[in-house]
Amino acid sequence: MIFENTLEFAKHLDLQDPLHKYQDEFIFPKVQGKKVIYFTGNSLGLQPKRTKAYVDEVMNDWANLAVEGHFYSEKPWWDYHERFADPLSKIVGALPSEVTVMNTLTVNLHLLMVSFYQPTQTRYKIICEEKAFPSDQYMFQSQVDFHSQNLGIQFEDAIVEIKRRDGEHNIRLEDVLAKIEEVGDELALVLIGGVNYYTGQVFDMKTITAAGHKVGAYVGWDLAHAAGNIKLELHDWNADFAAWCSYKYMNSGPGNASGCFIHKKHHNNAALPRFAGWWGHNKERRFKMEQTFDPIQGADGWQISNLPILSLAPYLASVDMFDEIGMDALIQKRDAITSYLEFILHEIDKEVDSSFEIITPSNPTERASQLSVLLHGEGRSLFDYLMQNGVITDWREPNVIRLAPVPLYTSFEDIYQFGQILKAGIQS
């Protein structure tokens, strides 16, 4: 498609967009009395209007049924999480038995590492990407420290970062594969963010997973910036495990519950360690209060505590919306709107003779709903100008803004208007 940097053209694209109506399903903050242009769905998604009804339903059941709500509410609390299995499996490309919801993201990654990071004195290394999200880095360090007393391994030796080449912003696939082969028999685990939070780079998870398995390592994925954003096929890719938050692209509310994937091949492996709790115990026998743990045969068997229903209600509202739309339609809109944003950025760059650089890959297969822009010669003042003029975006030191046009609630007109505000900010 040949794009145009005009308001009329942007409005024309909106008229042709079958998902444009969903913008009215969300609540937007306002700046100076006007609805904002919201580009931070990669940090916290907007609130869907339908969320309130889901939360009110739980509140009313709690008020009217109290403890009996576990079994007699319209959506009984004791199996509330099971309503996620089918829609979440479609979002991440899994079997329904391979997904569950519980806890929060880093908690779940720690719990999954109990099962999938079992270092020995000869096989103990973890491969991750350079500049992984800090929470993952802290997790790796503490996991190695936890095992170090018995094995004598050190963080500096155990954690192997795949680095960017000098002068490049993104990590090359061939460098990931070469590092996996180089570490070889010493490699216990590959755990990488499926979409890099800083640059927006999407990794080739299928190829990397196969490479890790070839040298005998487990392979897991932090999908914080991937779930609800890119096409995932976790079962077919043969990933061992994955976890994701729900408050970014899936709009479930701040700090909300996490989703987990554990491949079917591990469900009946009694030798695989895990931290157990009663909500992972055989559902039909859970209330018999038995002393011996008998795990559910599926991802639900990794659950520990009964679930926070008030947190799950907004998440369920979101996955129901995803289910009615489908990932294919979301990705089609995502690709179009991200390409239009890229076009607008280049057009504004030419108009103002500026010098900013998109550090997210230009190849559509290596990016999703995010463009990270390096502002050469511009500083924090431009970010502040955008925020003060109704463009909610994200600043990363030293001079990068992250722009995430989310297909559910970003319009093509939003993209055009952003370009005009950006131009005014540079010229001011």
What predicted TM-score, i.e. pTM, was given to this entire model?
A: 0.95
Q: Does one domain contain both 89 and 114?
A: yes
Rounded Cα distance between 156 and 420, Å, is 47
Tell which residue, 419, 329, 320, 404, has the closest CA to residue 369.
404
Per-residue pLDDT tens digits for 293-320: 999 999 999 999 999 999 999 999 999 9
Q: Which of 42-51, 85-94, 130-139, 411-420 has the lowest mean pLDDT?
A: 130-139
Domain that holds residue 382: 7-48+326-427
* The two structure tokens encoding residue 105: 């993201």
Q: Does one domain contain both 286 and 382?
A: no
In a domain, 217, yes or no: yes
Q: Is the pLDDT of residue 65 over 90?
A: yes
pLDDT, average across residues 5-15: 98
Confidence of residue 396 (pLDDT cuts 50, 70, 90): confident
In a domain, 2, yes or no: no
Among candidate residues 264, 291, 325, the one where a domain is terminated: 325
Alpha helices (H) along 309-368: 309-325, 327-352
Q: Does one domain contain both 228 and 274?
A: yes
Among candidate residues 278, 305, 325, the one where a domain is terminated: 325
Per-residue pLDDT tens digits for 323-382: 999 999 999 999 999 999 999 999 999 898 777 899 999 999 999 999 999 988 777 889
Domain count, the chain: 2
* The two structure tokens encoding residue 405: 């046009």
Q: Residue 269: left (phi > 0), alpha (psi -120 to 50), or beta? A: beta
Q: Does one domain contain both 339 and 316?
A: no
pLDDT value, residue 79: 95
In a domain, 1, yes or no: no
pLDDT value, residue 151: 80
